[in-house]
């Protein structure tokens, strides 16, 4: 409940997959700031300058961070005598008509948090520029993509990085899901992706696999003990925020708010739909501030999920009995012989086997569709996690074969793909919608107009 009131720090989705365009790398995507309307001027969405954003990597299965990539942002307003985001057409990132700019640093913390609470950090890049918002076709006469692609930065260590607005890649009948599971398709209505035409802000990293493993080398194969990582994204604010009155005369751009003190985790995202559906209201704020090492406190919600009881009570679907060891494997330990680390400490993380190559024929149902390169082995944008998780909670998996039957193995919202195609290369998510091509007013119909330096140690 708390994080829903803090959009800049609110993570919406996390993805981790072996990169199809560079199979010796992993792509990490974290989306923030939900439900962005394309027509959102004059103050368009942006990352929080007072928010610390992270990708966290556990590469030995002990539920503690071993690598942390940090993003810190700063905003520049070049002309305070206009209300405009841009004072003329924008043809490049350094165009003088781009009035509101945002820059960031990318840093890396290394070391086991169990043995080295104050880990060593280094800045990988500084003063990189965020892709601007897609204001509209008149503002980008050569096309928005021409400018946004300039915000893709290859670094000397083999990393690629991008930050900026993107099309929201998550697809779901969101209205029906939270109307007591009454998906439109169940009501005889056309299925609708309620996130069609909306945007998010994306942190995108493409990292060499050898940089992520505890051995510092490519895994020899899927059974290599160094092949599996756990991923999550987190955001933080400092403990103290001070507001200052600015109504009197003074300088332009007065400092309205400042922050100080230790960083406090306020958002956490790993496996999709865990904090939305598995964790109940009473513990959602606790979840968002929690660490994987303490996930035993949430075990009962995985072993006896409310969603399973709803499937039974509302849709009359017979589900496996509790406690659900099958869901513990999927959400907390990883699946044996696929993405379960040796001597794993159970915890909710998006677990990925780095040695399983990208699929030549990916299935939207991931592992349930016979595609071991998909969710819950990591997560790709095309993975239909709504259908996959509904069927898993109903027991339609190899763990509980007697429940792998209709209707359990046919559950879904019938929204089977995103409203716009994904890219084949980094950053994989498509350009953000502009107001001219936005489809959110058309009940989710397909959109054809999309696109037209500081290292911060944390104190627990």
Model confidence pLDDT, tens digit, residues 297-331: 999 999 999 999 999 999 999 999 999 999 999 99
CA–CA separation, 114 and 347 (whole Å): 15
Helix (H) / strand (E) containing 15: strand 11-18
Structure tokens at 17: 């997959």
Report the 10 Å Cβ neighbour count for 223: 12
Q: What is the pLDDT of residue 36?
A: 97
Reported as a single tens digit per residue, the pLDDT across 126-162 is 999 999 999 999 999 999 999 999 999 999 999 999 9
Q: What is the pLDDT of residue 255?
A: 83
Comparing CA positions, the residue from 164, 166, 175 lying closest to residue 198 is: 166
Structure tokens at 21: 């365009």
Q: What is the pLDDT of residue 247?
A: 86
Q: What is the pLDDT of residue 439?
A: 57
Structure tokens at 306: 């409310």
List, as one string, the DSSP characters of 48-88. -TT-EEEEEEESSSSSS-SEEEEEEEEEEES-TT---SBSS
Structure tokens at 438: 């936005």
Q: What is the pLDDT of residue 445?
A: 40
Taking 70 as the pLDDT cut, the residues of the chain under it are 113-118, 438-460
> Quick check: 147 and 131 in contact, CB under 8 A?
yes
- N residues, the chain: 460
pTM, entire model:
0.94
The SS3 assignment for 58 reads: strand
Fill in the DSSP letter of residue 379. Answer: B
Comparing CA positions, the residue from 341, 340, 377, 375 lying closest to residue 356 is: 377
- CB environment 366-394: b (16+ within 10 A), e (fewer): bbbbebbbbbbbbbbbbbbbbbbbbbbbb
Q: What is the pLDDT of residue 113?
A: 67
CA–CA separation, 58 and 351 (whole Å): 9
């Amino acid at each position: 409940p708390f994080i829903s009131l803090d959009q800049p720090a609110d993570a919406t989705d996390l993805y981790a997959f072996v990169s199809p365009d560079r199979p010796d790398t992993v792509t990490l995507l974290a989306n923030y700031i939900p439900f962005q309307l394309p027509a959102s001027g004059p103050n368009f969405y942006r990352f929080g300058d007072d928010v610390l954003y992270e990708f966290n990597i556990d590469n030995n299965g002990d539920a503690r961070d071993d690598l942390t990539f940090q993003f810190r942002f700063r905003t520049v307003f070049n002309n305070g005598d206009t209300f405009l985001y841009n004072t003329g057409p924008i043809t490049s990132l350094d165009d003088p008509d781009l009035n509101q700019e945002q820059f960031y640093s990318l840093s890396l913390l290394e070391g086991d948090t169990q043995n080295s609470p104050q880990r060593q950090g280094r800045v990988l890049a500084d003063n990189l520029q965020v892709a601007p918002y897609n204001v509209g076709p008149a503002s980008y006469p050569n096309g928005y993509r021409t400018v946004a692609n300039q915000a893709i930065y290859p670094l000397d260590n083999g990393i690629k990085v991008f930050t900026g607005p993107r099309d929201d890649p998550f697809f779901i009948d969101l209205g029906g899901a939270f109307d007591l599971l009454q998906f439109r398709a169940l009501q005889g209505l056309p299925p609708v992706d309620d996130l069609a035409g909306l945007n998010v802000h994306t942190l995108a990293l493409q990292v060499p696999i050898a940089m992520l493993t505890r051995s510092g080398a490519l895994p020899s194969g899927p059974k290599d003990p160094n092949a599996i990582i756990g991923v999550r994204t987190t955001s933080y604010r400092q403990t103290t925020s001070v507001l200052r009155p600015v109504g009197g005369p003074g300088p332009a751009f007065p400092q309205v708010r400042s922050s100080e003190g230790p960083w406090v985790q306020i958002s956490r995202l790993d496996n999709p739909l865990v904090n939305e559906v598995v964790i109940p209201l009473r513990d959602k704020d606790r979840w968002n501030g929690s660490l994987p090492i303490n996930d035993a406190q949430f075990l009962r919600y995985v072993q006896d999920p409310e969603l399973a009881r709803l499937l039974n009570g509302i849709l009359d679907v017979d589900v496996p009995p509790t406690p659900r060891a099958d869901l513990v494997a999927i959400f907390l330990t990883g699946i044996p012989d696929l993405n379960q680390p040796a001597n794993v400490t159970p915890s909710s993380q998006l677990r990925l086997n780095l040695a399983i190559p990208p699929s030549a024929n990916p299935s939207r149902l991931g592992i349930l569709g016979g595609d071991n390169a998909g969710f819950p082995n990591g997560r790709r944008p095309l993975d239909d996690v709504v259908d996959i998780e509904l069927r898993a909670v109903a027991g339609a998996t190899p763990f509980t074969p007697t429940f792998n039957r209709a209707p359990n193995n046919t559950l879904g919202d019938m929204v089977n793909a995103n409203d716009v195609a994904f890219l084949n290369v980094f950053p994989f998510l498509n350009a953000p919608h502009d107001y001219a091509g936005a489809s959110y007013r058309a009940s989710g119909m397909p959109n054809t107009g999309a696109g037209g330096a500081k290292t911060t140690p944390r104190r627990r």
